[in-house]
Amino acid sequence: MSKQTAIRLSDETYARLQALAKRTGRTASYYIREAIEERLEDLEDIYLAERVLERRERGESKTYTLDELERELGLDD
């Protein structure tokens, strides 16, 4: 199932989107969906990284060097 939403675009962005859709024979919706799906993963990764850094700064998580990790996992031989 898919959901519908509405967005506002600048006139320039709208014109570019329409021109691309016309040149390629695809719909504007296709390109909007592609752009969101591609960028959404990046945004999710950024958000997760920011939360990890915040926890690290508050002392709620620890980082390890590669040497420490190898020793901990018994891979230091």
Q: Average of pLDDT values for 16-44?
A: 96
Q: Would you say 39 and 30 are in contact if contact means Cβ atoms under 8 Å apart?
A: no
| pLDDT band, residue 6 (cuts 50/70/90) | very high
Which pair of tokens denotes residue 16? 């570019």
What pLDDT, on the 0 to 100 scale, is given for residue 77?
72
| Average pLDDT value for the chain | 94
What pLDDT, on the 0 to 100 scale, is given for residue 40?
96
* DSSP code at position 61: S
Q: Average of pLDDT values for 2-20?
A: 96
Q: How far is CA 71 from CA 56, 62, 63, 66, 77, in A?
A: 22, 16, 14, 9, 9
The percentage of the chain sitting over the pLDDT mark of 70, rounded to a whole number, equals 100
